[in-house]
Structure 1
Amino acid sequence: MKQAKVLTEAEFKRVLAVLGQGKHAQRNRTALMLSHYAGLRVGEIATLRWSDVISTDGEIVQQFYLKPEHTKSNEARPVHVSKRLQRELSVYKSCFKQQIRLTEPLIPSQKRGAFSANSLCQLMGRLYRDAGIDGATSHSGRRWFITRLAHAGVSPKVIMTLAGHRSLATTQRYIDVNDEMMSKAVEVL
Structure 2
Amino acid sequence: MPRKPIRLPVVLSLEEITTFFDSIPSLKHRTILMVAYAAGLRVSEVVHLKVTDIDSKRMVIRVNQGKNRKDRYVMLSPRLLEVLRTYWHDAHPRDWLFPGDIPGHPITRTAVARICALARQRSGITKPVTPHSLRHAFATHLLETGTDVRRIQLLMGHRSLATTSRYLRIATSTVCATASPFDLLPHPAPIPSPPPAPEYF
The whole-number CA distance in structure 2 between the counterparts of 1:109 and 1:125 is: 18
- The amino acid across from 1:15 in the alignment is F
Instruction: Tell me, yes or no, if structure 1 residue 15 matches structure 2 residue 20.
Output: yes
Matches within 5 A, 1:21-36: 22=25, 25-36=26-37
Instruction: Tell me, yes or no, if structure 1 residue 108 matches structure 2 residue 95.
Output: no
Runs of 4+ in 1 over 6 A off after TM superposition: none
The whole-number CA distance in structure 2 between the counterparts of 1:164 and 1:29 is: 24
The whole-number CA distance in structure 1 between the counterparts of 2:171 and 2:84 is: 30
Greater displacement, 8-17 / 40-49:
8-17
Q: 1:64 aligns with which of 61, 64, 89?
A: 61
Matched with 1:129 is: 121
The whole-number CA distance in structure 2 between the counterparts of 1:129 and 1:49 is: 29
Q: 2:171 aligns with which of 177, 181, 186?
A: 177
Gap regions ≥5 residues in structure 1:
none
Question: 1:125 Cα deviation (Å)?
Answer: 2.6
Matched with 1:138 is: 131
Identity fraction in percent? 28
The whole-number CA distance in structure 2 between the counterparts of 1:108 and 1:2 is: 35
The whole-number CA distance in structure 2 between the counterparts of 1:83 and 1:5 is: 27
Matched with 1:89 is: 84
Instruction: Tell me, yes or no, if structure 1 residue 6 matches structure 2 residue 1.
Output: no
Matched with 2:73 is: 78
- The amino acid across from 1:129 in the alignment is Q
- The amino acid across from 1:63 in the alignment is V
- Does the 8 A contact of 2:43 with 2:109 survive in 1? yes
Question: 1:94 Cα deviation (Å)?
Answer: 2.5
TM-aligned CA distance change 1:137 to 1:174, over 3 Å: farther
Greater displacement, 10-19 / 155-164:
10-19
Instruction: Tell me, yes or no, if structure 1 residue 162 matches structure 2 residue 180.
Output: no
TM-score by length of 1: 0.79
- Does the 8 A contact of 2:143 with 2:174 survive in 1? no
Higher relative contact order (CA 8 A, sep 6+): 1
Q: Which structure: larger Rg?
A: 2
Matched with 2:53 is: 52
RMSD, aligned CA: 2.5
